[in-house]
A and B are shown apart, each in its own frame.
Chain A
Amino acid sequence: MIGTITTMIITEAQDQRRSLMRLMAWLSPAFPTGSFSYSHGLESAVDAGAIASGDHLENWLSDLVAHGSGWNDMVLVAQAWRSCANAGLIDELGKLAEALAGSAERHLETMAQGAAFLDAAGARASIAAVDHGELPGELAYPVAVGLVAGREGVPLADTLTAFAHAFVSNLIQAALRLAPIGQREGVRVLAALEPLIAATAERAAEAGLDDLGSCTFRSEIMSLRHETLHSRLFRS
């Protein structure tokens, strides 16, 4: 009896470590989705003078996570995670995520990263083998992440925390290249956003599609304006 319990605990610990490693791999900047090439409109925000310091960056990113595109993406990750066994629902969610993209470049950002994520995670072959079917050729990024995490049994709250953390980290890295913000300040911003990321991940884990909703209008405008910037480092 005690032997059985010990074995279960060891297995559970191993599962947790496996899940942690998968999230670290999938959401690492080294995972070949090209995340480093997208600024999500941050480049035009810096150009317009809307982000000129670490404090500005912290305000901007906290709004994206709490009531912006970051929040909507987290709701979509959660819904895809729950729907991971239903190809029809995943297809519908993918189309919803695609329809919500707010500019030509945001559309590229989510669709290209979603396709690259499915390829790099080796998800297409394994899903086809189980379901005898094919995924839609393109799947928006948050839906792809939620789908794969759900199918691999990675816990939802962990997935959402890692997703939001990667979203914020990636944009901080972009800001460091664009604005007069130093590495140390970037680390400070990331640390300052930790409690918000954790709380928002918990909220998103309980949220459904009716909870989609954002109000970061100026961030959306910056993304619309990016394609007409004179010189660009980023694809969005």
Chain B
Amino acid sequence: MLQISPNILPVAHTVPTLQRARGDGRIAVKSAGGINRLAVLYQDGCAKIRLPRAAPGAPLEAVLINTAGGLTGGDRMNWSISVGQGAGASVTTQACERIYKTTGPAARVETRIEIAAEGSLAFLPQETILFDRSSFERSLSADLDASARLLVVEPLVFGRQAMGEDVLAAHYRDRWRIRVDGRLVHGEDVAMDGDVQALLGHRAVTNGARAIATVLVIGSEVETQLDAVRTIIGDDGGASAWRVGGSGKLLARIVAPDSYDLRKRLIPLIALLNGRAGLPKIWTT
């Protein structure tokens, strides 16, 4: 007669409610007499914003900081960036964002962007690194005036390279919705679940490359930079420019074996596409 031992029956686990990191950071930039000035600065929880001194007349520089030093299950960050009429800003992050292993709900980061007429914003976060067994959901929504310009460079790395880590299980979602005068002009929906390392090995996914980046420019004359973008990217990716609903967009995607190789493409790309502000200093320090 089969006997079921009590210790193989499911045990009800009580998951302790841990203190989760919360951050809410908002910044607004305005143009006053041709100088870009801070209009709003709000920092709550683990969200901090630092403002390195920029040259007079240059776009305002801001560095977003997550003082919790990485994100794990249930953590939540909200960033809001608003650029006023005729103003310019260049926003980056202080360090790579590490998404730690979790058994709980996903870590979530929401970024909201608004750019008024003739305004310009470069959103240039440093790499996000997905650790093995991480769970991460991110969204980027932007509302632009038809005369505004937006540059986004978003690099993503799978696993801790220094440790040779493979991402054998993860949950990742990334959703972008970019609107110009209320009309949707660009969407991104990335979804990866389960054995990411195996998925990356597929020839239509990255063929084994562990670092990827998406580069997007929305603006009136984006096609003029297409050839230069293609020259920088070479065989590691592709770029195209077209119009949707009357708005110009340039989209480039790059895959690289690791974040070091990815940066070799991204640094000249940012220098090319970010006009006077160029590459944020923190990218190379």
The reply to whether chain A is a binding partner of chain B is: yes
Chain A residues with CB below 8 A from B251, complex form: 102-103, 224
Interface of A is mostly: helix
User: With the chains together, A116 CA to B237 CA distance in Å?
Assistant: 31
Chain A residues with CB below 8 A from B252, complex form: 224
Chain A residues with CB below 8 A from B207, complex form: 50, 218
B203 adjacent to A218 (CB under 8 Å)? yes
Interface of B is mostly: strand
Would A218 and B240 be within 8 Å (CB), given that A95-B245, A99-B184, A213-B191 are in contact?
no
CB contact list, A191-236 vs B, under 8 A: 212-225, 227-228
How many interface residues does chain A have, given as a range? 35 or more
A217 adjacent to B212 (CB under 8 Å)? yes
B-side interface residues, number (CB < 8 Å)? 35
In the assembled complex, B63 has its CB within 8 A of some CB on chain A: no
Chain B residues with CB below 8 A from A225, complex form: 238
In the assembled complex, A185 has its CB within 8 A of some CB on chain B: no
In the assembled complex, A96 has its CB within 8 A of some CB on chain B: yes
User: With the chains together, A77 CA to B202 CA distance in Å?
Assistant: 26
20 contacts between A and B (CB under 8 A): A60-B203, A60-B204, A63-B203, A63-B205, A67-B191, A67-B199, A72-B189, A95-B245, A96-B187, A98-B184, A99-B177, A100-B189, A103-B240, A104-B242, A213-B173, A215-B192, A215-B199, A218-B255, A221-B238, A224-B251
Q: Which residues of A approach B to under 8 Å, CB–CB?
A: 45, 50-51, 56, 59-60, 63-64, 67-68, 72, 95-96, 98-100, 102-105, 107, 212-225, 227-228
Given contact pairs A60-B203, A103-B251, A219-B204, a sample of 6 additional A-B residue pairs in the complex whose CB atoms are under 8 Å apart: A50-B203, A60-B204, A63-B202, A98-B184, A99-B186, A224-B253
